[in-house]
Amino acid sequence: MADTPPRNDRPDAPAPPGARPGASPDRAIHDRDLPEPVVDAGRRWIPSLVWLIPAIAALIGLTLVVKTVWMKGPSITISFLTADGIEPGKTKVKFKDVDIGEVKSVSLNEDHARVMVTVELSKEAGNFAVDDSRFWVVRPRFAETGISGLNTLLSGSYIGVDAGKSTNPRKEFTGLEDPPVVASDVPGQRYVLHTDDIGSLAAGSPVYYKRIPVGHVERYTLDEDGRNITLHIFIKSPYDHFVTKDSKFWHASGVDVRIDGAGLKIDTQALATILMGGVAFEDPAGTSLTPAPAGDHFWLAGNHADALKAPDGPSVPVVLHFNQSIRGLTVGAPVDFRGVELGNVTATGIDYDPQTHDFTGRVLVTLFPDRLASFEKTLPWNGDRHIRTARLRDLVNRGLRAQLRTGSILTGQLYVALDFMPKAAPVAFNPDADPLELPTVPGDLEELYQKVQDIVAKLDKIPFDAIGENARKALASVDGATRHIDDLVRHADHDVLPEIRDSLQQMQQTLAATQASVAPDAPLQQDTRQALKGVMDATRSLKALSDSLERHPESLVRGRKDKDE
């Protein structure tokens, strides 16, 4: 075996020249024999055309994102009671059938009482997010004023908008449950009406001027005290200048049928009011034509007659007590003073009189002195209480009385008449009563019945039996005297005897006829008794007729019903 050179295994031995630091001597000799490597940079990379399409798509997408962000409008929140017909991503927001936004999300509020709808408007619709804008859901609706939203049966519901005119931006809105009756861009004026009975009026009911539709009822609310109702109406231009400070408004709802002391009245404003009601107005003759400012307040009367009658002025309550039936007297019946409607009946009832142990009808009326114009200065209720009670005492002493009279024989309705009756019995007047009480006299039918009763009572007092007995005694005396004269005649001269005898025979025939007429079974007696019986029967029939008419006044039209029906 050939000798091998000795290895230098010491770690501290020096490395050969050109060897890498830390390499062994054998590795260093091997590396010194290898050539230096040559680095080749290669060719430059050229992108492929296939990447051009994704780049263009990314550029287009970025452009669309920028455009979407740039065109994005404000986001608002609308609260509704229900989300019926609203779907996120599908339900549109439209103004005059133009899309201006879209529903993005629907959620409940914290107390779960309302639905919060988030709507994203377009940039062009940014001016819709202001204070007085109104939003509602357009869906099929069936109301007393008509049918609306039928086009959404196929296209689906959407949110309608009424653009506001404010410049104050707003992000949260409370949606309307019903669409507004009049858009905010319609020219015209709004007014306020007050009434104690809404009748058949509703939102959307028309307003008429001379039977021409000029506006609508927008909404109504019940006052806080619950006594009256406030209505808000809109009158379109150019008819709004016909509303003056003296304009009178009244119910024109449906068919106005009134049965009162003035008879039967039927009135209607237009065919549409029969279905949905309405309001009418006009100016009384002789009033100024000064236009009323927007928002002015008016009273809504029950009908045309009440609206145009003389001004009421201050009212005076008066109580009346009638000692007869007050059937047929209704609340609202007129109080008439010589043809002038001085007031109306406000309440009826019955009172017990502990002194007479009888019941009397109590009628409370309200009088309006201003309706008598020139006479109002002499009325008892002007001035303080002492002056008006003194004047009222004077009028009562002059015969001022209240009386129930028949206003219509067909309906049996009654009304209260005030008039001076000088022959009325004097009555005591209490000036401290509150309300003041006016004395009364029996009604017309009651007065007629009382007069017939007085006649029957006077006839009943005639002693017909005593008169007949006295007549018979007188005839017997005359008959005796006649016989005595006849005896004398027999002895008288024969020349005058025939004449005397003829006279006596005629006298006897007259006395016989008189005696026969006063006999109990004589025709005169029977005719007299039958006449008296007829008068009494007529009185009873009149009383029965009066009572029957008071209980059933409709029998004059419908006829009398059998008891077994």
Per-residue pLDDT of the chain (565 residues), as tens digits, is 444 454 544 545 555 555 555 555 555 555 556 667 766 665 666 666 677 788 888 888 888 877 766 667 788 999 999 888 898 988 999 998 898 899 999 999 888 899 999 999 988 888 888 988 999 998 887 655 556 666 676 778 899 999 888 889 899 999 988 888 888 888 999 999 999 888 888 888 899 998 889 999 998 999 888 888 999 999 999 999 999 988 999 988 756 565 555 555 665 555 555 556 789 999 887 777 889 999 999 999 888 877 877 666 667 788 998 888 888 888 888 898 888 888 889 999 988 878 878 888 899 998 877 676 555 455 555 555 666 677 778 888 888 888 988 877 677 788 999 888 888 888 888 877 888 888 888 876 656 656 666 666 666 676 666 666 666 766 677 666 666 666 655 655 555 556 666 666 666 666 666 666 656 665 656 666 676 676 677 667 666 766 676 666 666 556 565 544 4
Per-residue pLDDT at 563: 47
Inter-helix orientation angle 464-490/523-551, to 10°: 170
> Do residues 322 and 437 both lie within one domain?
yes
Order of strands across the sheet that contains 98-108: 134-138, 158-162, 92-95, 98-108, 115-122, 72-80, 172-174
Residue 39 covered by a domain: no
Is the Cβ–Cβ distance between 161 and 93 less than 8 Å? yes
CA–CA separation, 109 and 79 (whole Å): 9
Boundary (domain end) residue, out of 174, 206, 231: 174
Confirm whether 493 is domain-assigned: yes
- Strand, coil or helix: what is 137? strand
- Between CA 115 and CA 33 the distance in angstroms is 89
Cβ atoms of residues 511 and 472 within 8 Å: no
The answer to whether residue 454 sits within a structural domain is no
Domain end call among 123, 147, 174 = 174
**Cα(256)–Cα(492) distance, integer angstroms:** 97
Does a structural domain hold residue 59?
A: no
pLDDT for res 479? 66
DSSP secondary structure letter of residue 436: E
Instruction: Supply the angle between the helices 444-460 and 523-551 in degrees, to the nearest 10.
Output: 160
Same domain? 328 vs 438: yes
Calpha distance 253→199 (Å, rounded): 7
- Per the CB < 8 A criterion, the answer to whether 176 and 145 are in contact is no
DSSP 48: -
Q: Do 431 and 530 sit in the same domain of this protein?
A: no
Which whole-number Å values give the CA distances from 50 to 44, 45, 47, 55, 56, in the listed order? 18, 15, 9, 10, 11
339 and 302 in a common domain: no
Predicted pLDDT at 459: 66
Number of structural domains, the chain?
Answer: 4
Tokens of 200: 């058949």
Q: How far apart are CA 167 and CA 75, in angstroms?
A: 17
Asked if 194 and 272 sit in the same domain, the reply is yes
* Distance of alpha carbon 182 from alpha carbon 188, whole angstroms: 10
In this structure, the answer to whether residues 434 and 344 fall within a common structural domain is yes
pLDDT at 564: 43
Cα of 20 vs its chain's centroid, Å: 115
Closest CA to 306 of 256, 372, 270: 256
Closest to 549 (Cα-Cα) out of 453, 443, 413: 413
CB 346 within 8 A of CB 364: yes
In the block, tokens 């007659």 appear at 305
CA distance 313 to 319: 19
Same domain, 211 and 163: no
Quick one: which of 240, 241, 356 has its CA closest to 290?
Answer: 241
Are 204 and 263 members of one domain? Answer: yes
Regarding whether 384 and 338 lie in a shared domain, the answer is yes
162 and 200 assigned to the same domain: no
- Within-domain flag for 387: yes
- For 270, what's the count of Cα atoms within 13 Å in the CB-facing half-sphere? 17
Q: Are residues 72 and 128 in the same domain?
A: yes
Residue 29, CB-side half-sphere exposure with 13 Å CA sphere = 2
Residues 6+ apart with CB under 8 A from 496: none
The amino acid at residue 225 is D
Question: Among 174, 196, 211, which residue terminates a domain?
Answer: 174
* 502 and 438 part of one domain: no
Which amino acid, 180?
A: P
The CA distances from residue 198 to 98, 148, 252, 311, in Å, are: 37, 24, 11, 22
The per-residue pLDDT for 21 is 54
Task: Please report the sign of the dihedral spanned by the C-alpha atoms of residue 388, residue 389, residue 394, residue 395.
Answer: positive
Q: Which domain holds residue 140?
A: 66-174
Residues sharing a CB contact under 8 Å with residue 487, sequence separation 6 or more, in sequence order: none
* Peptide bond just before 5 cis, omega within 30 deg: no
> What gap in Å lies between CA 542 and CA 548, rounded to an integer?
10
Distance CA 363, CA 133 (A): 54
529 occurs within a structural domain: yes
Place of tokens 């009346």: 320
Residue 460: count of CB within 10 angstroms of its CB: 11
Read off φ and ψ for residue 498, nearest 5 degrees: -60, -40
Q: Show the beta-strand stretches assigned E in 139-240.
A: 141-143, 146-148, 158-162, 172-174, 188-195, 206-209, 212-222, 229-236
Within a domain: 9: no
Does a structural domain hold residue 86?
yes
Q: Which residues, in sequence order, are CB contacts of 550 under 8 Å at separation 6+? A: 325, 327, 328, 412
Closest CA to 324 of 452, 393, 416, 433: 416
